[in-house]
Chains A and B, each alone.
Chain A
Amino acid sequence: MQIRLAEIAHARSGDKADWVDFGLFAWNDAGYAVLLREVTTAAVQSHFAPWLPGSVDCWPLPNLLAIKLVLKDALQGGGARNLRSDNLGKSMGGALLRMTITLSEEEWALCHAQPRVGWWP
């Protein structure tokens, strides 16, 4: 089945000069296994390519159930010369969460059956 990343992950974006960076986080181990397989450098690059064709760097961080991503050449040279409304890429975390990924129904069920690691009373 195909889902959007938002269904099993959360994300924040930030800027440094012309690069946008993302922290992408699974809610639990089951989700992280899917992220590791689906969220590759190539997959993220092709997701953004219709809009922002810059190259992508990617670092998995199993201790945080996270993947760190950097998208280069994404801000028209940097926030103080970027003409877009979102000149700092603050909303680009949402753009990442739009990405379509593929997983089995068993994986989907496991992602939602496993509790979240964090304290959410």
Chain B
Amino acid sequence: MTKTVRIASGLGFYGDSWEPVVTSVASMRAGELNYVASDHLAELTLAILQKDRQRDPTLGYARDVVPMLVRLWPLMQTRGVRFICNAGGLNPHGAAAAVQAAFNAKGWKARIAVVSGDDVLASLTDNAAPANFPHLLNGDDISIVRERLVFANAYLGARPIVDALAQGAHIVITGRVADAALFLAPLVHEFGWKLEDASSADDFNKLAQGLTVGHLLECSGQGSGGNFGSLQAWQAIPDLAHIGYPMAEVQTDGAAVITKPHGTGGRVNFDTVRQQLLYEVHNPHAYASPDVVLDMSTICIDDLGGDRVRITGATGHRRPDQLKVVAGFSDGFKAEVTWGYSWPDAYAKAQTTLAMVKTQLAEKRVPHEELSVEYPGLNSAHGALAPLPADLSELNEVWMRMVLRTNSKAAAEGFGRLFPWMGLSGPAYTCGFSGLRATGELLGIWPTLISRERVEAQVRIDWLAAGASS
């Protein structure tokens, strides 16, 4: 009657290590672990993928999913583990085709579902039907950025993944899906929890527990002692070099235990788990997802010891009528130069050089909005909150990081050329320079809301069968 579903954390971002995922899967016998769910998309990732897609329309997905699955699939297949990820990014069909090609080359068979329909750029840029998509945080009207939008994706919920699993998918590859929904979906599928038709407090609370589990697992090692922000306590977390990513054991009623594989580094306890629970949450009484609104104020975290923590008590409320959208818009260019001086007078020489850079920008009339200056090692992290040393003249070395913000691509590309001459004709003991060609494109992020019906009407599941037809 009561059943346990086990889910292991996959990646926490595009570029994360999958070795701990290999460890998680390999530590389990057949039938013990049911799912790996892998979050490849931070808010910023679509901006990176957009640049890939501009260069090559077949890209635009998180490419690490291919070598990751090539490494994991033999282990997962023999244990009956299914895999869910949002690595599709802006191009889920491209991601699935790349995985299929890699599997075909190995002669592996897998049923791959592709979830798409999160792309809502056409809705946001449709001038014929001007809808208002105000900025979620500051209320600005979207007309100020509409011409410059380069991507816009809605956060889908668990439904299409639940359907794909019900139809026998071994691997589900999605575009922008709410991170935690990657984990909630298999729980809804396995336990038959009500989703759209949830109506009782019990229905909502189960979904809230599932969302909590997803939120605790979606950032890989951050849920098991990685990135533990503290004064001196972090040293008590063992062996981060071999960190075990978190895993969840979830019961039919939603009660869950968070743990990690035996013999791995990291720590799962009250402190590491609650740091992750509140991560990137605004109002903790109403943490909105496409499937349920979570109230964290009733969650009970029982530290069982031995890297096991029990999670109960999450309260759920009816899901929002609108879905969140994150859009990106072109917002100029940057050029970044780092320049260093050694003792003596390192700080004073950096100041002199900065003054000469500003003189050149003015005399050459270089168009720019801002010149950002930081001193890495002195104040780049905490700005004015970081007190400078009393005796600046004695510093061993000073590095200065200067970043130009400009709407002119030419101005950005020319910034680095303001510097080399100072190697022979400026102050002495230059100890490093980088940034002759470090130009980058800046993207503004535009969070907004869109009607659920409008998005759900375009969501679809497509199927690929690696190995089956060849």
Interface residues of A (CB under 8 A from B): 4, 6-7, 10-19, 21, 23, 25, 27, 47-48, 50-52, 57, 59, 61, 63-66, 68, 70, 72, 77-81, 83-86, 88, 90-95, 97-98, 116-121
- Chain B residues numbered 269-321 whose CB sits less than 8 Å from any CB in chain A: 269-272, 274-285, 296-301, 303-307, 313
Contact assessment for A50 and B284 in the assembled complex, using a CB-CB cutoff below 8 Å? no
| A80 touching B230 in the complex, CB below 8 Å, given contacts A85-B374, A85-B376 | no
| A118 touching B270 in the complex, CB below 8 Å, given contacts A64-B278, A70-B282 | yes
Q: 12 pairs across A/B with beta carbons < 8 Å? A: A11-B230, A21-B281, A59-B284, A64-B296, A66-B274, A80-B47, A81-B332, A94-B381, A95-B381, A98-B382, A118-B271, A119-B304
Q: Does B403 contact A (CB under 8 A)?
A: yes
Secondary structure of the B side of the interface?
A: mixed
Contact assessment for B445 and A83 in the assembled complex, using a CB-CB cutoff below 8 Å? no
Q: Does B43 contact A (CB under 8 A)?
A: yes
A77 to B334, CA, bound (A): 14
Contact assessment for A25 and B137 in the assembled complex, using a CB-CB cutoff below 8 Å? no
Separation in Å of the B346 CB from the closest CB of chain A? 19
Interface string of B324-352 (1 = CB under 8 A from A): 00101001101000000000000000000
Contact assessment for A81 and B275 in the assembled complex, using a CB-CB cutoff below 8 Å? no
Q: Does B392 contact A (CB under 8 A)?
A: no
Separation in Å of the B3 CB from the closest CB of chain A? 27
In the complex, residue of chain B having the shortest beta-carbon distance to the beta carbon of A24: B278
Residues of chain B lying within 8 A (CB to CB) of residue A93: 229
Residues of chain A lying within 8 A (CB to CB) of residue B384: 50-51
A88 to B381, CA, bound (A): 11
A10 to B279, CA, bound (A): 13
A27 to B271, CA, bound (A): 8
Residues of chain B lying within 8 A (CB to CB) of residue A94: 229, 381-382
Residues of chain B lying within 8 A (CB to CB) of residue A119: 269-270, 303-307
Contact assessment for B380 and A63 in the assembled complex, using a CB-CB cutoff below 8 Å? no
Q: Does B370 contact A (CB under 8 A)?
A: yes
Known: A85-B401, A118-B271. 20 other contacts (CB 8 A): A10-B230, A11-B230, A12-B279, A15-B280, A61-B296, A63-B297, A63-B298, A63-B313, A64-B299, A68-B283, A70-B282, A72-B137, A85-B374, A92-B382, A95-B381, A95-B382, A117-B303, A118-B303, A119-B269, A120-B271
A93 to B230, CA, bound (A): 9
Residues of chain A lying within 8 A (CB to CB) of residue B326: 17
Residue of A66, A78, A94 ringed by the most chain B CB atoms within 10 A: A78
Residues of chain A lying within 8 A (CB to CB) of residue B275: 10-12, 23, 25
| A12 touching B227 in the complex, CB below 8 Å, given contacts A80-B328, A85-B381 | yes
Separation in Å of the A70 CB from the closest CB of chain B? 5
| A64 touching B331 in the complex, CB below 8 Å, given contacts A11-B229, A84-B372 | no
Q: Does B424 contact A (CB under 8 A)?
A: no
A78 to B145, CA, bound (A): 15
A69 to B443, CA, bound (A): 26
Q: What is the total number of residues of chain B having a CB less than 8 Å from a CB of chain A?
A: 66
Contact assessment for B385 and A19 in the assembled complex, using a CB-CB cutoff below 8 Å? no
A97 to B137, CA, bound (A): 26
A1 to B136, CA, bound (A): 42
In the complex, residue of chain A having the shortest beta-carbon distance to the beta carbon of B372: A83
In the complex, residue of chain B having the shortest beta-carbon distance to the beta carbon of A60: B297
In the complex, residue of chain A having the shortest beta-carbon distance to the beta carbon of B402: A83
| A13 touching B229 in the complex, CB below 8 Å, given contacts A51-B385, A64-B296, A80-B442 | yes
| A12 touching B137 in the complex, CB below 8 Å, given contacts A50-B385, A63-B299, A70-B282 | no
Residues of chain A lying within 8 A (CB to CB) of residue B372: 83-84
Residues of chain A lying within 8 A (CB to CB) of residue B285: 59
| A116 touching B271 in the complex, CB below 8 Å, given contacts A17-B445, A85-B380 | yes
Contact assessment for B137 and A18 in the assembled complex, using a CB-CB cutoff below 8 Å? yes
Residues of chain A lying within 8 A (CB to CB) of residue B47: 80
Interface string of B370-391 (1 = CB under 8 A from A): 1010101000111111000000
Q: Does B105 contact A (CB under 8 A)?
A: no
A18 to B331, CA, bound (A): 14
Q: Does B444 contact A (CB under 8 A)?
A: yes
Residues of chain A lying within 8 A (CB to CB) of residue B137: 17-19, 72
A83 to B402, CA, bound (A): 9
Contact assessment for A63 and B300 in the assembled complex, using a CB-CB cutoff below 8 Å? yes
Separation in Å of the B383 CB from the closest CB of chain A? 4
Separation in Å of the B328 CB from the closest CB of chain A? 7
In the complex, residue of chain B having the shortest beta-carbon distance to the beta carbon of A89: B381
Name A16's contact: one of B278, B280, B299, B301 (CB within 8 Å).
B280
